[in-house]
Structures are given as C-alpha cells and as structure tokens.
Structure 1
Amino acid sequence: MTQLSRGFLFLSAIAATVAGLLFLAGLPGGFVFDDAYNIAQNPGIQLSSLQPGALMDAAFSAQPGSATRVLPMLTFALDFYRGDGMDPATFKITNIAIHALTTVVLAWFLRALFQAAGLSERRAAWTALALAFAWAAHPLQVSSVLYVVQRMQTLSTLFLLLALWSYLQARIAQIQGRPGRAGWLLGGLFWAVAFSCKEDAIALPAYALAMELTVLRFNAKDASLARNLRRGYLSIALLGGLLYLLVVAPYFWSWGNYPTRDFSSVERLLSQGRVLCLYLWEILLPLPSHMPFYYDWLPPSRGLLSPWTTLPSLLGLAALMGVAWHLRRQRPLFALGIFLFFGGHFVTSNVIGLELAFEHRNHFPMIGILIAAGDLIALATRHLRSRQIATSVTCAAALVVLAGTTVARARTWNSELSLANTSTILAPQSARAWNSLCVAYFELGGGAKRDNPNLDKAIAACGKAADVGQDSIKSLTNIIAFKALRGPVPDADWNRYLNRLRHVTMTPDNSSSIWVILNRARDGMPVDGEKMLEAIDIINERARFKPIESAAMGYFILGHTGTPERAYPYFAQAVLETRDPAFAASLTEDLRQEGYPAWAERLELAVEASRSGGASHRAPGVRQ
C-alpha cells in the first residue's frame, strides 16, 4: 500500500467514525414496525449457544420478508446472544458499525471510480471522501441505520459496493492489459453474499452496465475483449428484458387491486413517479421535517391526473433520464449517478405489489444522486471560477450542517414515544404514526394492567389513528383490547370494528390484528364471545386463515367462547388445507386426547375422502 493509500485509509476511517457517532443520539430507542415480526417476536433468532447447528437454525429461521436473507438473520441472532436478550441498543450499535464500514468501502469505491473517470489522484480522493461522508451523514439514513430490520438493506449495500469495487478493479486491469480474474471472482462472491441479505441485489448487472455506458465505455486493451463485453452486455440486457416481459411482469401483474393492497399494478407504476420525485426532494433538500418515516398517508395515483402531480412527475423523471443518456459521454459521472438512482429503484418501484414508499429504499440509490450532484457542483465551480479554498470551505460547512440535521433526526429515535410523537407531527394523516403513539403510551404506562396511567392517552391516540386511517383496522383492534382492561367493551366500539373489518383491504396488518384481542382474552380480559366469533368469521371469509392459524382459532373458540361447537369447522379447515400430514395427524390426535373423539374420527374420515378425491380441499362448514 502506497503512502497516499495509507493516508486515504486513515481519512476514510475518520470520516466513517464521525458519521457513525452521529447516530448514537438515537440510542437506545426501541424496536419499531417490522422489527416486531422479524426480530422482537421471532423465536428463531433467540440464540442460546454458538454451536454450528444453532447458528444454522438461526440463519435459516422463519423470515417474514423472504427465505433468502440468511446473513442478516444470523447477525440478529448473534446480537440477541451477545446482548443477553432483546436489547434494542445492542442491535442498533451493530447497525451503526455496519454503516461506518460501508462508508469506508464507499469512499474507496468512489476514489477508484473518479480516477477511472479521469480525475487526478488528489481530486478523486478528496471528492470521494466528501461524497462518502455526505452519504453516511445524510438524515435520510437515520431510518436505515436505526430501524433495526433494515440491516437487510444496509448489509446488501455493503456487499454490493464491494462487488462493484471488485468489478471496477477487474475492468481497470483489463483496460491496462491484465486479465483481472481476481476482481471478477471477488465480484461474483460479494454479489452472492449481497443477495443473501436482500433480493434487490439482483440489480448488480444493471449497475455494472451503467458504469460501462458512462465511465468505462466497454474499453479493454484487447480489442476482441472489448467486442465481447459489448456483445455480452447486449445479450444480458436482451435476456433480462425478455425475462421481465415474459416472466416477471405477468407473474406479479394485477389489473385489479393486489390481494393485500388498495391499488393495482397500473396504479402502482403511476404512483412511483410521485414517489421517486419525493425521494429526490428528500435527498437534495435534506431537512428532517421532510422525512416522516411512515408513508401510509401517501395515496396511490388513480390516473395520470389523479392527483395532478402524477403526470408532471413522470414527465420530469423521463426528462431526467433523457438528459442523463444524452450526457453520458460529455458528463459521464452525472449520467452514471442518474442511472444508479433509477437502477437502484428498479425492483421496488416496479410491478411487485410492495407498499408505495419507504425511506430505506434509498440507501443505495442515494449514492447515485450524490455522484450526479457532486459532478454538477464541480461543473458550476469551474464556470464560476470560484477559488479552491472557498469551494472547500463551503463544502465543509455544508457537510457540518448535514451532520447536524442527522443528529437532530437521530435524537427523535432515542425512544419509541419520541419517534411516535415526531411521526404524528410530520405525518398527521398517518394511521401508523398515530397507532405507534398509542402503543408507545400503552407500553410506557406499564402495558396490560387496569390502572395503566396512560390508558386514556393510548385510547385517544388510537382513536385518532382510526379517524385518519379509514383502511386500517389495527387502531380499532387496540381500542377494544385496551378498553377490555377496564371491563366489557361498549357495543359501539365492537360495531365500529366489525363494520370496518368488512370493508378494509386485507393487508397483512389488518388480517393479523385480531390476535391482539385474542391475546387479551387469553389473559383473562372480558371479551364478547359472539362478537369475537363474528370477527373471526369475517377475517376467514375475506383472507382465509393458514392451517396453523385456523387451528389456533379453533382452540380459542373452544376455550374462550360459549359456543365450542363453532370450533369444529376451523379444525376441519386446518386439517384439510394443510400440506403437512404430520400436522394434520397431530391435531387430530390432540383433539381426541382433549375429549373430542367424535371430531377426531370425522376429521380422519374427511382426510381419507379428500385423498381419494371424494371431497373438496376446502373445509365444510366454514363460511366461504
């Protein structure tokens, strides 16, 4: 390593350390939103030993997001082990360390990229440091770093950058006449690891193509290799396009609403124009007041002019892409940055029925916008002929201000109540924000106890959530569960809950919310059995319980309602619709042991009939 490289390593480590320290203001904080299912309520990551078998079980434990995210799941388990339980600060410190490490890697990647683009070694180094720090110290990163489950995203970015850096080194070697095999091999390895963190790492070839179209220009000292590169990328692009059009798009496409969303594929694609413009606004004008964390208040676009900002957003993005394409030779870094931004959002802003917007989706794409912005700033300073020292001081001051906004935003994450309060201020139409405030008050007051001093505040916040979120049932569920702590729940609350349950979109949040009330009933809280049965029937009719959920409903009805005979159809549904014969046999035997031998015999006969083709695989007796 040369002296210049050693100096750059030292400076990049300093920048990364300072950037990491900014996020300490957000500790200890708590687990929020999807942290619950993936971490806090996930027994699969509760590691009790470091034996190889236990580590493998943790890595491949149940993952609500995807079954491929094994590396993040393993690190969650290790955090549980070293923190001696579910300590949010332990998990978040690991996230901060990953963020700092990614900052170092980003600085080195950008340095190599800028040198490949023709910048002098000194200028490439200082520009890389400045942009890497700007990325690391951006307030939009708070929700990627302090939102624990987004380690999936941040680890993916880390290994994507390592893969791109390796690819760049391989290509530079080929331009200089060397084979570059080590870079190609490392690039493939890091790509595989990135994919084990999150599936959107599949876009790596698009990022590599963006570098070829702008900075690298498919160059190689060997002319035949250069031709093969062009042909190879053309083939990959054509094959990828065909796979998208013939496989991916038809598989995910929905002319009507997605099963768990209130928008169709067309509406989602229209909406993403506004969403991407929102992201650009947040990146380029980085004020915490522009970053509410929750985006469930964002309505989908129902047409090109509904809302009217849809068409201008799409036209603006098309113009930006067109300008980048036109300037790909004259301003290769600007063009590359724009290509990386759009490439980074290709998966999440496409036909897959994901939610419309999340801040963490910008973790990698933000790199592209900062590269493009940095190139424009450099162009402006040259045209204005500003002195180097003045430019340097201005940039340093901007970075200090940027870091200050990140500290300010991180502070709002240092407790669940603080984050919830801030979210309701920044997004007053967000049902999730108000519901998080409701739950924060409830937990702060001691949880499920009759004399919880914050119970009225919690119920009021959930009432506000119910008012602003007409397509959400979670807040009404909480109101019933909380009021049950004080005695029978008024019929008005039950009727409001049941009426909305009949009409809301059956998102995962809405269909699973009933478990809050079930758990309160199991804890001995007074719950109207008939109302509960009606709610269970509605949800099963609209969002069909999985076999294990159906069995749980059957057991609940047996033990906590006055009509145990209503439990049988749910047991039948569980047995007839499961793909696991052992589960069906175990459930049947358990019913026999619990004193229901006639039910067990009926279920066994039904299973035999279904296997012989004599009965439908949907359970009889359950509302359909």
Structure 2
Amino acid sequence: MNTNNHLRLAFITLILSAVYFAYQPALIGTLFYDDFVNIGRLDQVKDLSSMIEFVFGGTAGPTGRPIALASLIPHVADWPNNAANILRANLFIHLLNGILLFILANLILQHQEQIAETQRFWIALSAASLWLVMPLLASTTLIAVQRMTSLSALFGLLGLIGFVSGYRWQHTDPKKALVIQLTGLAIGSLLASLAKESGALFPIYALIIDTLVIRQPKIPAWLKLARQLPLWASLVFILFFLSPLMQDWTATDASFGWSPLARLQTESVLLWKYLGLALAPQPTAFGPFHDDVQIITGWPVFISIASFMIWLLVGFLLRHKTPWILFAALWYLGGHLLESTVLPLELFFEHRNYLPIFGICLSLAVLAWGLPGSIKKWGPVFFGIYILLQAAVLYGLTTIWGNPLEAGENWVKRHPNSSRAILHLVAGYHEEYGNPSYALLFLDNIKGCNDCIDVKMQALIYSCGFEEPSQTRQRFADLERLARRGKASVALLDSLYLFHDLDHRPCPPLERQDLLHLIKDILDNPNFGASRYQIHALYHAAIFSDQLGLSEDALKYLREAELLDPTVMPILRLQVAVYAKIARLDQALAAIERRRHLANRSPTISDTDLDRLVSEITTSPPNPDHSIERQAR
C-alpha cells in the first residue's frame, strides 16, 4: 500500500471514528412509542417457536419485515433494558451504509470522464461524510425500530453496488454484465423489501443512475433494452399502484381524516421542509414526534409544486452540461415515492430521507469540486467546513437526546400539540421523581393539545389512588366530554388495559360501568371511525360487559368486531371464552370453524392455533380476562 492509499485509509478511519464519537451521547437506550408497538414482543421470544412467530408475525407493513425483525433476535436477552445495545448496533449499520454509499459514489464517478481519478475518491468521500453526519438522519439510528429503515438501505445499497459494478463487463462480456447487474439488483431489492417495503424503490435508483450519469457509448441495443426494461417496468408498476386507478384519491381515510390527494398536496410542502432541515439544521429542530403535523392547503402547495417543476426543468435543460442537478431532484423525489405521496401513512418522519437525501449530498460534492476558474480551489475547502458544521449540529443534537428530560421538554416546546411528545415527557417526569405529582402538575398546565384524549387519560391514570376520589371523578368527567369529539389515539385504547383488573388495581371512585360508558362515547366519536380503532374499543367494551355479567352485550360487541375483521385472534379467544362461560360450547366451536374457512387468514390464526383453542374449551374453558388480554397487547 503506497503513501496515498495510507492517507486515504486514514481519512476514512478518522471520519468513521468522528461519526461514532458524535453519536455516543445519545446511545443511552431511550425507547419510544413505535418501538414498543413494533418490537415490544421481543420479551415473548423464549424458544424456536416463539422466535419464528416474532420474526414472521410483524405488522409494521405488508411484508411483515421479517429480516429487520430477525436482526433483533440477538437482543432478546434482557429486553427492554438492553435498548442501548440495539442503538449501538443501529449506529454500526449506519456507518456501514456510509461506507457502501462511498463505494457506490466512487463506482458511479468512474463513468464521469470529465472528473479526474484523483478527485473521484475525495468527491465520493465528502458526499458520504456529509450524509453520515446529517442531523436529519439521526433519528434513523437513535430510534430502535428504525433498524428497519437502515437495514433495508444496507441490502439495497449492496444490490446497487452490484448493479453499477456490472458496467465494467458491458463491452467485453455483455451477457455477464447483464446477469450480474439484474441478479445483484433483484436480490438486494428483495432483501431490502423484506426489511422495509421502501426497498422496492431500488430499481428506480438504478434507473436514475443508468439513464443520467452512466456514459454508455456503442453498447449493443439489446443490452440497453434488456437492462432498462425491468427498471422501467418497476417504475411503471409503482406509479400505477399509486395512481387513481388503484387508489381512490378523493376518499377520506377514516384512520387519519384526510384523502390521498390532500396528503399528496401536503407532502409537496413537507418535502421542502425536509430539505431545509437537511441543509440548514439546528440541534433542537429534530425529534421522534410529529403527530401534530396537519394537512396543508392553498398557496404553499402551489408554490412548492411549482418549485419542484422549476428544479426539474432546469435540471433537464442543463443535463448535457451537468447531469447532477436533475440527478439530485430525481433521486430525492424517487426515494420519496412510496412514503411521501398518497399511501395512508402519517405525514412526517425524518427517517424517510435516509437514502433520498444522498442524491443531493453527491450532487453538492460534485459541484463543490467542479467550480470553475479562480474559485475552483475554494469549493472543497468550503464543503469541508460545511461538513464540520453539520457534524457540530449532530453532536449538539445527540447531547440533547442523551438527556431524556431536556430532550422531552424540547420536543414538547417544538410540538405543543403532539400528544406523543407530551406523554413521553410526563412518563419521564414520573420515572425521574418517583411519583405522579410533577407529571400531574405539568399535564394540568400544558397550553396545547386541547383535544388530545390520550393526554387526559394519562392524567386520570396518574390520579388513580394518588389524588382524592373527587378529583379523580372530575378528571374522568373531563375525559368523558372529550371522548365524544377528541382526536383518535391508539395510546388511549392501550391505556384501557390498565382498568381491566379493577379488583386488584382499584381507581376509586371509578367502576366498570363508568369505563363502559367511556368506551361507548369513544365508539360514537367519528374520529375513531376506522376499523382498527373500532375493533380495539369493541374488545374493551366486551371485556367490561363480561365482567359486569352482561354476557349477551359482550357477545354483541364481539360480533361487531368480527364483522370488521374476523382474523383478529384476541376477539376470537374472547368470544370462545364468553360462550364457554355460559355453557354454549356449540356456538364457541362454530366461531372457531368460521375462522378456519377464511380465505385470507393471518399467520396468527393458523390451524394449529385453532386446534389448540378447541382443545382448551373441551377440557377447561379459558379465562376471558388474562389469556386473552396478553394476546391483545
């Protein structure tokens, strides 16, 4: 290895070490709401059977994301107390992705003849370095469940590297080149998609590379057609899937309260907000909670769409002089096709930029190293200073995240209408001070989130057994009034599990009848109209009805839930338990058989599960309050 290579290796090592150091303050193992929802079942992994159920029973997306879940199996021991180890592993994946992006950029730049060989290394390294230290991407590493995003990127980047590497044989052995390119990309995209569905976008990244930045003189026409046809087919398929032919753009989604068209218009504005956060970051501007983001209409939408059109037009007109303006736009927009268009997802998450932002990083690096005339030497200098400034902001961000209470207070200040931010902070206060007093004081004095039912519910929970019964009753009355009109929340429905065992965990003066009335108000709230909310609330209504001795009412609620989704196993188990309790075993068995004949059964309702349930009720009827509740959680 010559001196030049030693220097390059030293720079790479220095950068990776600096990024690792910058993230250290935040690797304390803080867990957030999405972590418990998506990977909270880790504590149930006890043997091979439960491990398989965890890996293939994911609900975060259509694929279940088994590869991402499998990567968490090594962290089973001492979960959730070992969350810091998960974050540390996330950081190593992030560093590895930075290396892969450096390799990919270097391979791409080899096809840019106007860029000298000595410059290619430094352009690729500076682009990857900027990407590694961007504060916008920090949440991908610092939120445990976002392992799904970074691991998907890792497999997809390996596929892209295989795709770009194949160009070297396109003149000497075209068939070999084609096989390497398409096989590598297909395997990488498949594995990426099994970690997170956005892995389906890697053929689009490959198409952008192939059509914009790879010089392909005098290659056989059949080779170009055979390579591009599956790439274009992937793009057409995704666009067709997102189009009004497959998605009703005007129908309001019951879960979120907006239409796909309204979401698309809003995302056009939010995409510019992401760019602002990426290019001009502040340490306090980032966080895990964005449930307060609202639909945007009017002039901001028009201006945002027009700005993207101008960016694309300028890039297209200048593509022969420099492809990088158009490359940056297409890579960014293409990378947001699934999560920032019309699909029914939450509006805003920083981790959605994990790969889409790299096209801008690479384009800026190329432009910085390619400045003309007398200013040519200053481009790399200022770009290096810019990377250092981004790194300084990243360190400021991780320092804040490393202090949970300071971070929580900052997130509530930034997002006063985010119920998730508020609930996260009050949980921190409760843990820090050991009693609910300060948490209640904070909840009683917050200025925002006036329609957050889950925040009122949390105050009620803290009040139980701590405040006077009259105060608890008043809090419950406030909660009931808000339940008829407040915004929907899964956290509210999850909180109701705490009241299932009032005999051993009383909350004077509340009784089961009070909680049943509350659930009826929730069921009548149009904001809770989506089936996922209704099923959850109906389950609670059935539990409390059964505990009150109202078996027929319980069965009525369960029949309503079954009609909404017959594949929910906790609903079936509760149905069977109530039927068995009132000695109607024939109807219990009929409920089981109805599920056995479903055309599309979920993995959690297999024949083995149904047979086990039959065995349980024919020997000793299950307890409706315990075995079922554990599964519902």
**TM-score, structure 2 length as denominator?**
0.82
Distance change >3 Å, CA 461–CA 331, structure 1 → 2: farther
2:70 paired residue number: 74
Query: How many residue pairs are counted as aligned between the two chains?
Result: 586
Superposition map of 1:528-547 within 5 A: 528-541=511-524, 542-543=529-530
Change (3 A) 1:533 1:103: same
Q: Using a 3 Å threshold, how does the CA distance of structure 1 residues 502 and 365 change in structure 2: closer, same or farther?
A: same
Match of 1:440 among 428, 449, 456: 428
* Superposed counterparts of 1:299-378, under 5 Å: 299-301=294-296, 303=297, 305=298, 308-378=299-369
Shift of 1:387: 5.7
What's the CA shift for 1:210?
Answer: 0.9
CA contact (8 A) 1:341 1:368 kept: yes
Q: Which residue of 2 aligns with 1:12?
A: 12
2:161 is aligned to: 165
Structure 1 partner of 2:123: 127
| Aligned mates of 1:139, 1:64 — CA distance in 2 | 25
Residue 361 of structure 1, CA deviation: 0.5
CA distance in 1, matches of 2:36, 2:536: 20
Q: TM-score scaled to structure 1, two decimals?
A: 0.84
Would the aligned equivalents of 1:19 and 1:137 in 2 still touch at CA under 8 Å? Answer: yes
Q: Which runs of 5+ in 1 are unaligned?
A: 447-451, 613-624
Is 1:437–1:461's contact at 8 Å kept on the other side of the alignment?
no
Deviation at 1:334, TM superposition (A): 2.8
Tell me the amino acid that sits aligned with residue 476 of structure 1: K
- In the TM superposition, residue 183 of structure 1 has moved relative to its aligned partner by 4.0
CA deviation after TM superposition for structure 1 residue 75, in Å: 1.6
Cα displacement string for residues 142-165 of structure 1 (whole angstroms, at most 9, x for unaligned residues)? 211101111101111112211111
The equivalent of 1:382 in structure 2 is: 372
CA positional deviation for 1:521: 7.5
| Contact map agreement 2:65 2:148 (CA 8 A) in 1 | yes
Quote how far apart the aligned CAs of 1:606 are: 8.8
Alignment of 1:579-618 (within 5 A): 579=566, 587=574, 590-591=577-578, 594=581, 596-597=582-583
Letter of the 1:268 partner, please give it: R
CA contact (8 A) 1:111 1:125 kept: yes
Moved more, 172-181 or 545-554: 545-554
Amino acid at match of 1:160: G
Describe the shift of the 1:5–1:46 C-alpha distance in structure 2 as closer, same or farther (beyond 3 A).
farther
**Are the counterparts in 1 of residues 264 and 340 from structure 2 also a CA contact under 8 Å?**
yes
Q: What root-mean-square deviation, in Å, do the aligned CA atoms of Structure 1 and Structure 2 show?
A: 3.5
2:271 and 2:286 map into 1 onto residues whose CA distance is: 14
Residues 496 and 58 of structure 1: CA distance in aligned 2, closer, same or farther (over 3 Å): same
How far apart, CA to CA, are the structure 1 residues paired with 2:542 and 2:225? 66
Alignment match, 1:456:
437
Aligned to 1:622: none
Preserved contact between residue 138 and residue 403 of structure 1 (Cα < 8 Å): yes
How far residue 593 of structure 1 moved from its aligned partner, in angstroms, is: 5.9
Match of 1:206 among 204, 207, 221: 204
User: Is 1:501 the equivalent of 2:483?
Assistant: yes
Equivalent position to 2:465, from 485, 488, 494 = 485
Instruction: Note if contact 2:58-2:66 (Cα within 8 Å) is conserved in structure 1.
Output: no
Amino acid at match of 2:338: V
Give the letter aligned to residue 473 of structure 1: I
Instruction: Choose 160-169 or 56-65, whichever is displaced more.
Output: 56-65
Rate the CA distance shift 1:584–1:243 in 2: closer, same or farther, 3 A.
Answer: closer
Q: CA deviation at 1:332?
A: 1.5
Deviations 1:246-288 (A, max 9, x none): xxx4444352431111322221111011100100101111222
Checking the alignment, whether the CA contact within 8 Å between 1:413 and 1:419 is kept in structure 2 is: yes
Cα distance in 1 between the residues matched to 2:393 and 2:593:
65
Q: Deviations over 1:450-505 (max 9, x none)?
A: xx1xx23212333456x522443210110111111324354442233222222234
SS in 2 for 1:276: helix
SS of aligned partner of 1:196: helix
Partner of 2:188: 190
Q: 1:7 to 1:46 in 2, by over 3 A?
A: farther
Alignment of 1:411-422 (within 5 A): 411-422=399-410
- Of the candidates 80, 90, 93, which is equivalent to residue 88 of structure 2? 93
Q: Quote how far apart the aligned CAs of 1:234 are.
A: 5.0
For 2:257, the equivalent position in structure 1 comes to: 262
What does 1:388-403 correspond to in 2, within 5 Å? 388=377, 390-403=378-391
Q: Distance in 2 between matches of 1:382 and 1:176?
A: 36
1:275 to 260, 270, 273: 270
Partners of 1:239 and 1:291 in 2: CA distance: 34
**Structure-2 change in CA distance of 1:148 and 1:292 (3 Å):** closer
